[in-house]
Amino acid sequence: MFDMLKHLRQKEWIMIGIILILVVFQVWLDLMLPEYMGKITTTINSGHGTVDAVMNDGMYMILCALGSLAGAIAVGFLAAKVGSSFSQRLRSMQFNKVDSFSMAEINKFSTPSLITRSTNDVTQVQMFMIIALQMIIKAPIVAVWAIYKIYNIHSDGLEWMLATGVAVVVLLIMFAILIVVVLPKFRKMQVLTDNVNRVARENLMGLPVVRAYNAEPYQTDKFEKANKELTDVHMFTTRAMAVMMPVIFLIMNGLILAIYWIGAVLINNAAPSTEEQSILFSNMIVFTSYAMQTIFAFMMITMMFIMLPRAQVAMRRINEVIDTEPTVTDGNVTETDTGRSGEVEFRNVSFKYPGAADYILKDINFTVKRGETIAFIGSTGSGKSTLINLVPRFYDATEGDVFIDGVNVRDFKLESLYDKIGYIPQKAALFSGTVSSNVAFGRTENEMTEYDVKNAVRIAQGTDFVEKMDNMYSADISRGGANISGGQKQRLAIARAVYKRPEIYIFDDSFSALDYKTDRKLRTVLKNELQGATSMIVAQRIGTIMDADKIVVLDEGRVVGIGGHKELLNTCSVYREIAMSQLSEKELDL
């Protein structure tokens, strides 16, 4: 509960204060109803009352009921306002925090879990807060006030108080049993929801592979298993909670029966045809109403204790995200005046993933000057992509340092660091929108220029296919670029980096979906158009990197060769082996 309160703002605390005042007013009106009921009963039983007197008290009862209704509506509105505002902020806080995470934090939580935490978990907290503001505040006030009213009834009500006490104790015992049995299941439910989300997401993202391997039955069984686990827990908690309402009504009706039976005995023992019988009858009616309100109050309190565990689990998961401090943090450097614009240096860099035992990269040293092109090649798993991910600080080096323009990348303000870099990932990431919005990504419509968009697409060799699309540069792009081919996605991703005009370009195997002709033409245009910019290229094809100024050959995370293409053919056996497996001796000019 306190995990939620710490995120409330002053405006919300003010609304909660107003809710408290309205609830007190509402409870006062609710507890006035039995008093007027008792007056009407006494008036009728006395034999001296008039219709006007009964109507007068009845009118007050109607006014109290209407006032209570208005208070309940106002409380419901304010509670919904607080709950909605609170959940909106939780989602924003999680989104902004995740936006600041490095890949280490993303991998720690997993994507399906982060999605569940920002949707299902927030919904659980929101529902609890809305109901809690209406019940948790009201229930104790009703219980204390109603018990006080009961205590002030004629001393003959001692037996009725005892009956009410027994009913409350039985109710609390039932709720205690439910909490002990159901609480662990509520905690488990959120984890199982993550699991269902993960399996469904994997199946949707890998649908072509699933179909190609006729793995639908396997995936169906996998989902059914996860779904059944969640369903079984839901069914268990639902059945356990289903027991609650019949038992509550049994206790309530049993209490009413006990009050009437005790009242009948007390009235029967009183002197016949006396005012005492009339008073006892009136007290019995009033006591029954107060007793029901007391039972409902305890029921609301215990209901909240049953709902609280799941909300607490959800809030704890939300706070795990919000309270996680990113391992990659801002530095102070925004501008560099070292005269080495675009220079990148790796100095004794080693890296291993968080929690891993072995290093992926070990003792990496190289320097690439402004305007140069450096390429990285090696067998699968040699650490090529990991190495270049250290430049934009998707991870930080475990040992050693990476420098840009002679400044340690850890010292840069992240926004300034990213401004220097144009990053094209292995898997081209496109966003729902248009061709222009993807090329000028991060810019508003007022900031982007049509000429710059077209020029970036031209350099990336995408003009032909873009201008054949409906609406051309305003053509719709589906999420992830699902409506265009892999090669087209890669060219738009390259155009996005070109549009930015950074100091350093990072191509992480970004030419793999292109045919050799397009690959060659694109690299030629890039070399001519991007003069003065530093390029770092990860590639599997020798043809893509053989014209690079410097080639770094990696093998099992270590540098086994650095130099030009012809130099490495003579001095590096790993490079020569890769080259000979792809090109003939004639093509290699041997």
pLDDT band at 297 (very low <50, low <70, confident <90, very high): confident
**Are the CB atoms for 413 and 333 separated by under 8 Å?**
yes
**pLDDT surpassing 70 at residue 68:** yes
- With tokens 């909240």, the residue in question is 304
- Which of helix, strand or coil describes residue 461? coil
**Of 323, 342, 360, which residue is a domain's last?**
323
Is residue 402 domain-resident? no
Helix 111-118 with 120-135: angle, nearest 10 deg = 30
Where helices occur in 501-555 by DSSP H, the ranges are 516-529, 542-545
Res 1 pLDDT > 60: no
CA-nearest of 174, 131, 138 to 311 is 131
Q: Does residue 169 lie within any of the structural domains?
A: yes
Q: pLDDT (tens digit, 9 = 90+) per residue, 344-368? A: 888 888 888 877 778 888 888 888 8
Residue 134 covered by a domain: yes
pLDDT at 42: 64
Q: Which domain, by its residues, includes 174?
A: 2-323
Mean pLDDT, range 385-396, rounded to an integer = 84
* pTM for the whole structure: 0.67
pLDDT score of 292: 76
Residue at 159 is within a domain: yes
pLDDT digits over 167-189, tens only?
878 877 877 787 777 777 776 77
Same domain, 188 and 289: yes
Minimal CA–CA distance to 83: which of 118, 133, 121, 119? 133
308 shares a domain with 189: yes
* Beta-ladder partners of 376: 538, 552
**Higher pLDDT pick, 354 / 74:** 74
| Terminal-to-terminal C-alpha distance of the chain | 73
Task: State mean pLDDT over 181-203.
Answer: 76
Cα gap 365→401, rounded to integer Å? 10
pLDDT of residue 346: 87
Q: Is residue 590 part of a domain?
A: no
* Region 535-559 average pLDDT: 82
Q: 553 in helix, strand or coil?
A: strand
Evaluate whether residue 541 is within a structural domain: yes
**pLDDT band (50, 70, 90) for residue 69:** confident
Strand order in the sheet with 534-538: 421-424, 504-508, 534-538, 373-378, 550-555, 558-563
The confidence band for 508, taking pLDDT boundaries of 50, 70 and 90, is: confident
Nearest residue to 400 (alpha-carbon basis) of 326, 346, 358, 359: 346
Asked if 487 and 516 count as a contact pair (C-beta separation under 8 A), the reply is: no
**96 in any annotated domain:** yes
495 within some domain: yes
Residue 263 CA to residue 508 CA, distance in Å, equals: 85
What is the average pLDDT value for the chain, to the nearest integer?
78
82 and 174 in a single domain? The answer is: yes
- How high is the pLDDT of residue 278? 66
- Separation between Cα atoms, residue 144 and residue 142, nearest integer Å: 6
- Are 461 and 522 spatial neighbours (Cβ–Cβ below 8 Å)? yes
Q: Which residue has tokens 């930080």?
A: 396
Q: What CATH number should be reported for the domain holding residue 468?
A: 3.40.50.300
Of 302, 323, 344, which marks where a domain is finished?
323
Percent helix / strand / coil, the chain, rounded to 5? 65, 10, 25
pLDDT grade, residue 151 (50/70/90)?
A: low
- Same domain? For 446 and 531 the reply is yes
Contact between 277 and 174 under an 8 Å Cβ cutoff? The reply is: no
pLDDT score of 156: 52
Q: How far apart are CA 249 and CA 259, in angstroms?
A: 15
pLDDT digits (tens, 9 = 90+) for 138-150: 777 777 777 777 6
Structure confidence at residue 499 (pLDDT): 83
pLDDT tens by residue, 261-279: 877 777 777 666 656 666 6
Q: What is the pLDDT of residue 337?
A: 62
Answer yes or no: is pLDDT of 155 > 60: no
Residue 586: its pLDDT value, please? 62
436, 448 Cβ separation under 8 angstroms: yes
Domain count of the chain? Answer: 2
* CATH number where 137 lies: 1.20.1560.10
Cα–Cα distance list, 347 to 21, 364, 399 (Å):
65, 7, 9
- Residue 232 pLDDT class (50, 70, 90 cuts): confident
| DSSP codes of every residue in 376-431 | EEESTTSSHHHHHHTTTTSS--SEEEEEETTEEGGGB-HHHHHHTEEEE-SS----
> Which of residues 572 and 205 earns the better pLDDT score?
572
Query: Do 176 and 241 fall within a single domain?
Result: yes
Q: What confidence tens digit (pLDDT) does each residue in 12-65 have? A: 788 888 888 888 887 787 777 777 676 676 666 655 656 777 677 678 778 878
